[in-house]
Chain A
Amino acid sequence: MRYWTHLDMDTHRTGFLVTAVVVGLLIATLSTYHVGVLTIAGTNILVCIGLGFLLAAGQLSLGHVAFVGLGAYGSAILARDYGVDPVLAIFVTLLANLVLAYVIGRLTLHLRGHYLPLATLAWGIAIYVCFVAAIDVTGGASGLSGIPALKIFGVEQGVRGMSALTWLLVGLTYLAFCRIYQGRIGRGARAIKSAPMMAAAVGVDVARVKIRIFVLSAGLAALSGGLYVFYMRFVSPSSFGIFESFNLLIMVVLGGYAHPLGAVLGVIAFTLIELGAQYVFANLLGIPGQMETILFGFILIVALLRWPQGLLTWMNPRYLSRRGKASGSDSTAALPAAQRAEGDTLLATQAVGKRFGGLQALRDVSIEVPAGRITGLIGPNGAGKSTLFNVLTSVFPPSDGQVVLDGATMPAQAHRVIRQGVARTFQHVQLVRELDVLDNVMLGGHVTGRAGLFAAAFGLDRQEEARLRSAAHAALTQVGLDDQALRPVGSLPLGSQRLVEVARALMSGPRILLLDEPAAGLRGPEKETLIGLMQRLRDEQGMAVLLVEHDMDLVMRCVDYLFVLNYGQLLAEGTRRDVQQNPLVIAAYLGE
């Protein structure tokens, strides 16, 4: 991919300040009509930033306008009919929206990906119909007027005041989201989008993070609605129809959602195109209204098929989100203090079986992975090695038997497994392609951090981030890739990507490390690094390593004990020599 502009941190900062000054000047000098356009754009940006982050986590809401509408009507009615101070009214409505969004998120986000768009679409229409129908409360189709002005320190805010307030909040939200995107939850969100199973394996509580992001975005929508209504001093249902939700979506997709800047660009581009198209269609071509919608339909489809990153394609968001990271690696830093493996640490399966429909993938498999030993697991393709891996890490539950860790049953949820000190890699490399190598490794430290959305937004996660960053450099040094830290992860050869996965697994300071074919695609020297690393982890930290591998040469050089799987059953176990001489194993590998 070729980038037209490379924005670094300094350019970004300068750009932000210049934009702030320009917007300030525009608000002070433009005609009231144009200040109005600017204010509406600002309220849209607020919604789009939240919606964009939701999309960055791979979730789609088609009913966000309902939250904007509830924010608008709620604060308008509180202020107009109950004499509540507008600022307080906005705040109260916002809280109510958070609760509502939590309920909707709770109901839909545990389910598969297509439920959220459907549920929010239906919910959006239902709310819209209520706005029209509840005439006593909302004034029906003709709307509510006579909404009091918002006061700040007793001064009533007119058009320009509301515009300034809106854009102040846009600026703050933008900065907060710049931090959130590159923080712990931001990485987790991108992991959820690209590979939910991997996200859970590094300790991201997938459903919970999705719900939080959804609730946050609904809160921003409600805030936007509140600002809108005290700027307009009038509200009617027509602003909250389902097609308005579609428009918000177009703005987000048009701008791109890999960085909050996309929302800003998308809203500005949408507003300009809409104004231009309406002018051209109505005044020059004499075509009736609604036709600009066709244009937006085309833009939406072409953008998604051709430029899925939207306008950000030409801004290279990767360079927008570097916080002093290029300052060089600090490879002297240690990995997170490994939860030092006790002598009796033991991961074991007890007579585990796994059925997929009529297919018996595993039958009566009992293995042991004790501390301080490199345990090998080999077997022909389709023997059930990866299934066993997935059962061990609670990706799916065993049909029979159980997985035992230190004598207790393994937690059933995948994201809790890593909290027990069990980290893994994947047979099919699962890295987040939008992030660079360092961020991918830092993702592995998710479970050792605590910072949430708010800590990131207010910059309270700096220390934690710095710790994770130096740990990530240390982990990369261990696998011999620290010089590649700032490259996009997709540009690495496959073998190196596997080593990045190993580094990511080390970030959680595991007691037990499960490696699924880590050597596939590795070159000679890289294999040496891997073998050295496994031996060091075993000898220095007493780690339990389980190695699934096809490269027999590598297996026979480093494992201490071997299990052989064939057709889902344990064929043999023992030391290298025992297994090498076992006639059953020889038959399975070389044929009868």
Chain B
Amino acid sequence: MDALTSLFLLVDGLTNGAVYTLVGLSLVLVYTTTRVVNIAQGEFVAFGALTFATFMEGRLAPVIYVVAITGAVCLVLDVVRARRQHHNPWRLATIYVLAAVVLAVLTWLALATGWLVLQMVATLALVAALGPIIYRLTVEPKPDNPIIVLVIISIGVSLIMHPLALLLWGADPIPVEAISDQWFDVGGVDVAAQSLFIMGFSLLAAIALFLFFNYTLTGKALRAASINRSGAQYCGIPVIMAGRLSFFLAAALSAASGMLLAPLVTAHYEMGFVVGLKGFVGAATGGLVDYPLAVLGVFLVGIFESFASFLSSSYRDAVVFALVIPIMIWRNARAGADLDNLD
């Protein structure tokens, strides 16, 4: 393997890493605020890519029906709960109606104007809306479930979303145009503008998350909820809202990752699951709680993947997933904070 090949593989690996970064960040975000190890996170990648692809074809993305139906179910459940607790259901209903109007207007604008930016925004909004809906339907009924039960529930969500994507978009991959098909020459290696877009966006997302968590009240509240749920509740931080918000943000990040990835691999209903799992391997480096280590981990996974696929394409995923073993050894060696402290 000469230097040029290595450089090419490195760039390829960094692009992979940037895609996984968004998913890895979503996983850490969801786990820290809700304790859900979200196996279904990767499905949002596929939903994002497929929704974006249908918008680019100028068609109405079928995901809107899913959002409408499941959103309506949530509304009914919320109104019933509000009435039972003698709260005013109208305020709730207004929020739902507002959200529906925003989504409808965005979708209409995306279809009517055909502008790329609006299509992206509409995609993000629609897929991200699924996040809090899923949280409402599967986690909120029993937020104190043990971690392993929450994992199994997220598997159930994945089992529903996976075939649902097949049903909505069919089995054929949909090609997606790159935002720009320019190529740049970096040290003798051709680098697609799309790769740079992906890396740039991931970097921006990571910085935005960092600022959000450190400098906004909502962000600090989310962090508080992740450190001590009941403590946060006593301080007046609505833990339920924190959960919905983190699912919303995580779904948006993953959908963005799908939109950016789609031009490289075509949009396909099966594309998300494995991306999600690779995000997990990366995020496990940080124990699923540490953002910087998770980012480091996913880049490691990305680079490993690209070199492994050069050396033996058929064993690529085996090598990537076997990475979990050295990661576990390392976590054991660091121990301390990570050991099962029996609480």
Interface residue ranges, A against B (CB under 8 Å): 55, 58-60, 62, 107-115, 117-119, 121-123, 125-127, 129-130, 132-133, 196-197, 200, 206-207, 246, 249, 253, 287-288, 290-291, 293-294, 296-301, 304-305, 308, 395-396, 414
Contact = CB atoms under 8 A, between A and B. Distances in A.
B57 interface: no
B145 interface: yes
11 contacts: A55-B148, A108-B328, A115-B328, A121-B277, A122-B281, A129-B317, A300-B155, A301-B138, A301-B153, A301-B156, A304-B153
Given A122-B281, A133-B314, A304-B156, A60 B342 contact: no
Looking at chain B's contact residues, is the secondary structure mostly helix, strand, loop, or mixed? helix
Nearest to B274: A125
Contacts of B137: 301
A58 B340 CA distance: 13
Contacts of A288: 166-167
B148 A60 contact: yes
Nearest to A291: B163
B288 interface: yes
A121 B315 CA distance: 17
Nearest to B158: A297
Q: Across chains A and B, which 10 residue pairs bring their CB atoms closest together, nearest first? A: A297-B159, A300-B156, A297-B160, A133-B314, A122-B324, A129-B318, A126-B321, A301-B156, A60-B148, A122-B321
Given A129-B318, A197-B343, A294 B164 contact: yes
B217 interface: no
Interface string B136-163: 0110011001111101110111111011
A287 B167 CA distance: 9
Contacts of A129: 314-318, 321
Given A108-B328, A126-B322, A246-B159, A114 B317 contact: no
A395 B342 contact: yes
A207 B342 CA distance: 10
A127 to B, nearest CB: 8
Give the one of B166, B277, B288, B340 with max A CB within 10 A. Answer: B340
Interface string B312-332: 101111110111110011011
Contacts of A396: 341
A115 B284 contact: yes
Given A117-B151, A288-B166, A298 B160 contact: yes
Given A196-B340, A249-B155, A294-B164, A126 B145 contact: no
Looking at chain A's contact residues, is the secondary structure mostly helix, strand, loop, or mixed? helix
A121 to B, nearest CB: 7
A308 B149 contact: yes
B280 interface: yes
Given A114-B288, A305-B138, A305-B141, A293 B277 contact: no
A118 B159 contact: no
A304 B281 CA distance: 26
Given A60-B152, A206-B342, A294-B159, A118 B314 contact: no
B37 interface: yes
Interface of B: 31, 37, 39, 137-138, 141-142, 145-149, 151-153, 155-160, 162-164, 166-167, 277, 280-281, 284, 287-288, 312, 314-319, 321-325, 328-329, 331-332, 335, 338-343
A304 B149 CA distance: 7
Given A115-B284, A119-B284, A301-B138, 15 more contacts: A112-B339, A113-B147, A114-B151, A123-B321, A123-B324, A123-B325, A133-B318, A206-B340, A294-B163, A294-B164, A297-B157, A298-B160, A301-B137, A301-B156, A301-B157
Contact of B277 (A114, A125, A130, A305): A125
A60 B277 contact: no
Give the one of A62, A129, A206, A299 with max B CB within 10 A. Answer: A129
A107 B338 CA distance: 12
A118 B284 contact: yes
Give the one of A111, A287, A301, A414 with max B CB within 10 A. Answer: A301
A58 B277 contact: no
Contacts of B145: 304
Contacts of B158: 297
A200 B277 contact: no
B163 A293 contact: yes
A106 to B, nearest CB: 9
Nearest to B171: A288
Contacts of A125: 277, 317-318, 321
Given A114-B147, A114-B288, A301-B156, A107 B167 contact: no
Contact of A107 (B315, B319, B325): B325
A156 to B, nearest CB: 36
Contact of B317 (A119, A126, A298): A126
Nearest to B137: A301
Given A112-B339, A300-B152, A117 B159 contact: no
Contacts of A293: 159-160, 162-163
B47 to A, nearest CB: 15
A301 B159 CA distance: 10
Contacts of B323: 122
A247 B6 CA distance: 41
Give the one of B153, B163, B164 with max A CB within 10 A. Answer: B163
Nearest to B31: A114
B286 to A, nearest CB: 12
